[in-house]
A and B are shown apart, each in its own frame.
Chain A
Amino acid sequence: MDLFPLYLTLKVSIVATIFSVTIGLILAWLMAKHDFLGKGLIDALIMQPLVIPPTVLGYYILVILGRSSPLGRFLEDGLGITLVFTWRGAVIAATVASLPLFVKPARVALEAVDKNLENAARLLGRTEWQVWRTITLPLAWRGIAAGAVLSFARATGEFGATLMVAGNIPGTTQTMPIAIYDAVQMGDTASANTLVIIITLFSVSVLYFVNRFTRGLY
């Protein structure tokens, strides 16, 4: 059996999760600790992938980053990065789709850290960066870790947006969910069953660990 879809899914999901956590931590920190104009709007935009159909999301990515957009042309001609119909495109799709699942719990966890604990640390002579590293992050890390696991799980299951952006090229952009779809379409029940069992076991264990993580927050 061809295990390429499993390999690609893990690669795309890991890279997408790294992106989600990096961008998401900055966003969650901004939203949790600051007030600024347009905060509500940015929040609504980040949360969009949770409610709009993944195909619509994929279409948006194509419009913004595709070859016909200025940004897409710049990436391709200027930096030599092709997104559409490559595994990188799948990473972008998975990142956008999984970002809200990271930002939401991370923001809640950061907001739950008592402001006076951070103020106490400042009063004891610590810099903003030290306060973040020694107080805020350690007290919020369970929520942040839970968000990272959830967004990883979402990335592995990404289907609609990935199909729109990266397509379905076996051996190049065909991820697990797309391979399952393909197998079922072609009547290859044996392959479909194997892949389904792998992905189910994976999802169940992810949720089990998320629950263990989030129990007994400070």
Chain B
Amino acid sequence: MSLSVNLKKRLHSFSTEIGLSIGEEILVLFGPSGAGKSLLLNMISGIIAPDDGVVNIDHRDVYNSDKGIEIPIRLRRIGYLFQDYTLFPHMTVYENIAYGMSGLKKHAARTKVEELLELMRLAGLKERYPHEISGGQKQRAALARTLATEPRLLLLDEPFSALDYQVREKLRSDLMLIHQRYPITTIFVTHDLEEAFVMGEKVAIINNGRLEQVGSREEVFYQPKTRSVAKLLGTRNIFKGRVSRVKRAELTIETDEIGEVKATIDPIMHIHKGQLVSFSIRPEEIMIIRPDRPIDKKVRDNILEGVVDATVGKGTSHTIFFRTSDGKASLKIEMPNFAYKKIKPVKGNGIAVSLKKESIWIIPIN
């Protein structure tokens, strides 16, 4: 199963132009509200007509403006999960799930619905109406209703964003298990960074109607191609400087805020001396140096001295806001709880941190 799209649409104050292609995987479409994520799903499914372009599912065009192809929604075999569930309020859970199975014989349909009810943990609720079940149960019923039609493509438009945290987590893992069982090409739209990281084998960043970057989760999260992708992904520690020395795979960058910084790069990046670059380091990659121990060789470069501005506990980790001694730069540092307990940095403490040169990600400025 596969999907490839290339679509254009102009609305009065917004325009979008996106090309994408995916296989049997979950692609997370991540971007801020109003980036055009839902519009893209609506155009793929046929709910909104694009101005121009191609939608190709399993090597067959369901939309092609040049060839004048526009297959009606009902024949596209696309499963769509809306944020507000869209269960039919006048039908029971059972009737909802059976709704799309009109082609099947009665007893075959019954067996299949029962199977899906079991799979989605809805067996006891089949006679209930949508207003009699919880939000999480509604979305599971909606997913079952969609799976009943054996879609070739699954489009999920922020399906869990109206649910509370625990239910959301459970549904995410449900969805991943189902995807392992039925490997359907899936697009999962979210504006939740954590959700994007958890769900995405492949992540596409969209902003302002354009695709900014697409790649594996690791590529996109740790190697953002542009400053705006880095910002969208919550990278706080972004700096700018001029390259003062290039020595094989190692750069030296002169910055105003944190002085001289060393970084390793991929030689294919073609960075030359004198070039202006941005670079970032993820909060969890910054090391706090323990004063009671000799400094490890790996973290000997890029040491910054400064003060702890604030610390915030977040369940499994702690965030430390660090300011350099001269006050020119601040960094966000994320550390796991076990490390935090050993060092216990509190507000006002003087500490030293190291920006490992392997962890610095260079973003060329065009």
Contacts and interface: CB of A to CB of B under 8 A. Distances in A.
B90 A218 contact: yes
A124 B99 contact: yes
A125 B89 contact: no
A122 B74 contact: yes
Main secondary structure on B side of the interface with A: loop
Interface in B74-127: 74-80, 82, 84, 86, 88-90, 99-100, 102-103
Contacts of B99: 121, 124, 126, 134
B102 A138 contact: no
A123 B74 contact: yes
Nearest to A117: B86
A210 to B, nearest CB: 21
A139 B89 contact: yes
Contacts of B82: 116, 120
Interface of A: 114, 116-117, 119-127, 130, 134-135, 138-139, 218
B264 interface: no
Interface of B: 45, 47, 72-80, 82, 84, 86, 88-90, 99-100, 102-103, 145-146, 149
A215 to B, nearest CB: 16
A124 B86 contact: no
A116 B100 contact: no
Contacts of A125: 74-75, 77, 100, 102-103, 149
Contacts of B89: 117, 139, 218
Nearest to B95: A134
A139 B86 CA distance: 13
Contacts of A139: 89-90
Nearest to B142: A120
A114 B80 CA distance: 15
A117 B149 contact: no
Contacts of A135: 88
Contacts of B78: 123
State the 7 A-B residue pairs at the shortest beta-carbon distance, nearest first.
Answer: A124-B100, A122-B73, A120-B86, A123-B80, A116-B86, A125-B74, A122-B74
A135 to B, nearest CB: 6
B135 to A, nearest CB: 16
Nearest to B72: A122
Contacts of A122: 72-74
A125 B86 CA distance: 15
